[in-house]
Every structure is written in structure tokens, then in C-alpha cells.
Amino acid sequence: MINYENKYLHTELEKVYGLKKIIGNSRAMLKVLDMVSRVAFSSATVLITGESGTGKELVARAIHFSGNRQEGEFMSLGDTVTKKVDVRIIAATNQDLLQRVQDKEFREDLYYRLNVINTTVPPLRERKEDIPLLVKHFIEKYNKKENKQIKGVSPEIEKEFYHYNWPGNVRELENVIERAITLTNEDIISADVILSLVKKEGDTGTTETELLAQPYKEARRKSLDAFNIKYITNVLNKTSGNVTNAAKESEIERQYLQRMLKRYNIKSKDVLFSRSKQ
């Protein structure tokens, strides 16, 4: 009876936290899903890395609840009865642990114990083709919560979502949709509602407050990334998206600028779109 109840509970939890709860069909996410399916039934330790808000905890739950971990054995201190459990380590972090090891801020032996199988959850800016699916999912989720019948977002918002950099990743997108649904009384979420929310996400002091609460090196890296993105976008605006002229304007090598464009997923068409709306 107990085994039956355990199996039933595991099945129900898998429905809530399993593989199907990870939204996305981009190449980057399919790679993550493939890794989850491969390691779910393994006993190997898994280290999940990625920026804040990317869904690392969701991936960890999917690995756990998609597997068949049931029983093992241990004996409590002072006890004479062996108890059965089954334990595997699934760790998630937004830190660059290898860099922390090199900086003598994280134990090297612990790093290699955790880093048996490593999977990285990509930031939303690297899987923008998943945004429509995520928007649909969050609209359905908060329609139920708020008892509304909102059908979607306007075409203008779809374009804006695609060109926005999403520093807060999927968590930021979910927050924007939740607040938009709360504030919207129409069938379609309009630009008037969304644009103010997206702008606030990137421009208010919230980001600075969060940075100040993070470790120094992590906060410095994020601040530098934000500056680089703003600087590159600005200089490309000045040169109408011409990378060669932008490099000259910035007094940096063209190849270095190209590497930065690739790193931050900045494209000339994105800059020109942003410029045309000003």
C-alpha cells in the first residue's frame, strides 16, 4: 500500500514539476531538455548553471521528478534500525564556480565533486524564439489566477519583446506578464501597458539594489555587461549600424567589437529597429 502511494505521489509530482513544465523549443532549450532526459534516471551528480531568472530550479525539479529515485539505506546516529532512502545531488548556481575556484573563493575538491554532469540554462536573450511560447504560457497561468480572458499581446509588443534584452530573463518576462494582466481590461495587452513595465524593469533602482546585495565580483560583472550593452548600442546608433565605423568611433579594434556583439547578442537590425522608434 505504501509503495503504491509513493508511486502515485511521484506520478502526480512529475505532472507538476516534470519535463513538460519546461517551456521552449529553441535549439538551446532542446539541448537542455535532451540533457535532462539523459540524466533523469542516472545517479550521477548534476551541476546546473545559468544567470538568475533562467529557470535553473525548474530544470533541477524536472531531473528529480522525472527519475525513479525511491529507496536506499542509512542509519541515524544512535539508532539501531536501518532506514531506506535514495539520494542524489542536484546543485544549481548563478555563480561561475570555476572562476571562484581560481580566485580561492570556492573549494576545488567540492567543485569537482559537483561538476560530474554540467548543464547550462541559457539566458532568454539567447533563446528569443521561445518568447511567444512563454508569453502564451504565462498569459494562461495568470488568466486563471486573475479570472480573466486575455487572448494575447499586440504585434507591436511581440516585436518589442524580441528586441528587448531581458536582463532578468524568464523571471522578468513572467513578472511583466503578470502585472500586465492585472492592469489590463482589454482582450489584448497593448503597448501602453507593457512598454512602461519593460522600461521600469531595466531603468529603475531595483537593479542597482539587487546588484548591491550580490557578491562583489558578480555585481561588477553585471554592471560592466550593462554598460557595454548601452555603450555598444549607442555607438551603433550613431553609425547607423555600421560595425567598422562604430569601431573607429569607439577607438577599439573591429574584431574586438564583433566579439562583444556576439557575446551580448546585439545585431545591427535590433539597433536600427530601436532607433527608428525614437
Separation between Cα atoms, residue 7 and residue 19, nearest integer Å: 17
pLDDT above 90 for 241:
no
- What pLDDT is attached to residue 220? 84
pLDDT above 90 for 47:
yes
Domain 2-122 in CATH: superfamily? P-loop containing nucleotide triphosphate hydrolases (3.40.50.300)
- What pLDDT is attached to residue 48? 94
pLDDT above 50 for 202:
no
Q: 141-193 pLDDT, tens per residue?
A: 999 999 999 999 998 888 888 888 888 899 989 988 998 898 888 899 988 77
What is the average pLDDT value for the chain, to the nearest integer? Answer: 80
pLDDT above 70 for 83:
no
- What pLDDT is attached to residue 112? 92
CB atoms within 10 A of CB 37: 13
CB atoms within 10 A of CB 219: 15
Q: Which residue has the higher pLDDT, 11 or 92?
A: 92
**Span 126-203: which CATH code?**
1.10.8.60
- What pLDDT is attached to residue 218? 78
Q: What is the mean pLDDT of residues 54-65?
A: 89
Class of domain 215-276: mainly alpha
Q: Which residue has the higher pLDDT, 137 or 278?
A: 137
What does the domain layout of the chain look like in residue ranges?
2-122, 126-203, 215-276
DSSP string over 105-171: SS-HHHHHHHTTEEEEPPPGGG-GGGHHHHHHHHHHHHHHHHT----EE-HHHHHHHHHS--TTHHH
Q: 117: which 3 cell numbers? A: 554532469
- What pLDDT is attached to residue 11? 47
pLDDT above 60 for 46:
yes
The answer to whether 96 and 73 have CB atoms below 8 angstroms apart is no
Residue 209's pLDDT band, with cuts at 50, 70 and 90, is low
